[in-house]
């Protein structure tokens, strides 16, 4: 690096999306969890992106983060109380997968996904530079989340019948914002949403504290788990 070429420096990097895509699908009613929509989308990347994002069923007048949506009495389940729309996003080395449980009538839904490269990815990535007024990357009119740490650890649950706690120390003395994912059996998902659509036995619970993030892996997980994190200085 030639210091004469340096234009901008910071102690903390910003989020850089290695995968930025928007999709529209018509999602049929899901009479049960086994008939939830499962949409594989080839991503063409040489890594499994750490995905997050939002979705809508009314062209963004309302919107939901993956794993969240209003509750309702589901007529398919005898009026049982539950989320009306459940959607999660996951990835492997080939595809991004959108999962949708639609407790309501068939409807058009839109999904906006941004995925980060895993912390150990060192290869070349495909440009995700957007276009238009929101295509700029860094603008002094705006503020950006400051990334303190992005890393991963591989945990091997001992299969002793008790949850395994994976501690991620940050030492900030306050509770930061953080994004956490797990990779189990080659599938990377947002931590805490692993079980959302009819998948059993892989409960993961991240708990943020002032010095540490404890990621609890349920006793039923008996395979190795990669825990990925992105911890921000922003509280």
The site for other proteins (CB under 8 A) is made up of 7-8, 14-18, 20, 22, 52-54, 56, 59-65, 67-71, 73, 79-81, 83, 112, 114, 125, 127-130, 132-145, 175, 177-180, 190-193, 205-210, 234-235
Q: CB-wise, 68 or 159, nearer to other proteins? A: 68
List, as one string, the DSSP characters of 104-121: SS-EEEEEEEEEEPPTT-
Q: Check if the beta carbon of residue 166 is closer than 8 Å to that of residue 155.
A: yes
Rounded to whole angstroms, how far apart are CA atoms 37 and 26? 10
Q: CB-wise, 84 or 95, nearer to other proteins? A: 84
Q: How far is the CB of 156 from other proteins (least distance, A)?
A: 24
Q: CB-wise, 78 or 185, nearer to other proteins? A: 78
- The three-class DSSP label of residue 34 is helix
Q: CB-wise, 13 or 158, nearer to other proteins? A: 13
Sheet holding 107-116, edge to edge: 19-27, 107-116, 50-56
Q: Check if the beta carbon of residue 216 is closer than 8 Å to that of residue 164.
A: yes
Q: How far is the CB of 229 from other proteins (least distance, A)?
A: 11
- Give me Rg for the CA atoms of the chain: 19
Q: How far is the CB of 26 from other proteins (least distance, A)?
A: 19
């Amino acid at each position: 690096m030639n210091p004469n070429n340096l234009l901008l420096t910071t102690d903390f990097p910003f989020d850089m999306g290695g995968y930025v895509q928007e999709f529209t699908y018509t999602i049929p009613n899901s009479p049960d969890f086994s008939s939830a929509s499962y949409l594989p989308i080839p991503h063409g990347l040489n890594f499994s992106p750490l995905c997050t994002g939002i979705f809508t069923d009314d062209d963004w007048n309302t919107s939901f983060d993956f794993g969240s949506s209003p509750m309702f009495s589901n007529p398919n389940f005898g009026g049982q109380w539950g989320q009306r729309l459940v959607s999660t996003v996951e990835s492997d080395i080939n595809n991004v997968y959108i999962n949708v449980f639609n407790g309501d009538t068939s409807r058009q839904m839109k999904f906006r996904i941004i995925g980060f490269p895993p912390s150990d990815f060192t290869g070349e990535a495909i440009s995700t530079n957007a276009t238009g007024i929101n295509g700029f990357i860094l603008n002094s009119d705006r503020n950006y989340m400051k990334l303190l740490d992005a890393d991963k650890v591989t945990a091997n649950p001992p299969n002793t019948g008790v949850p395994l706690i994976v501690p991620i120390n940050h030492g900030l003395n306050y509770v930061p914002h953080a994004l956490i994912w797990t990779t189990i059996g080659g599938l990377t998902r947002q931590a805490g949403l692993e079980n959302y659509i009819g998948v059993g036995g892989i409960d993961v619970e991240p708990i943020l504290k002032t010095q540490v993030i404890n990621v609890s892996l349920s006793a039923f997980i008996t395979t190795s788990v990669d825990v990925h994190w992105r911890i921000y200085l922003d509280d």
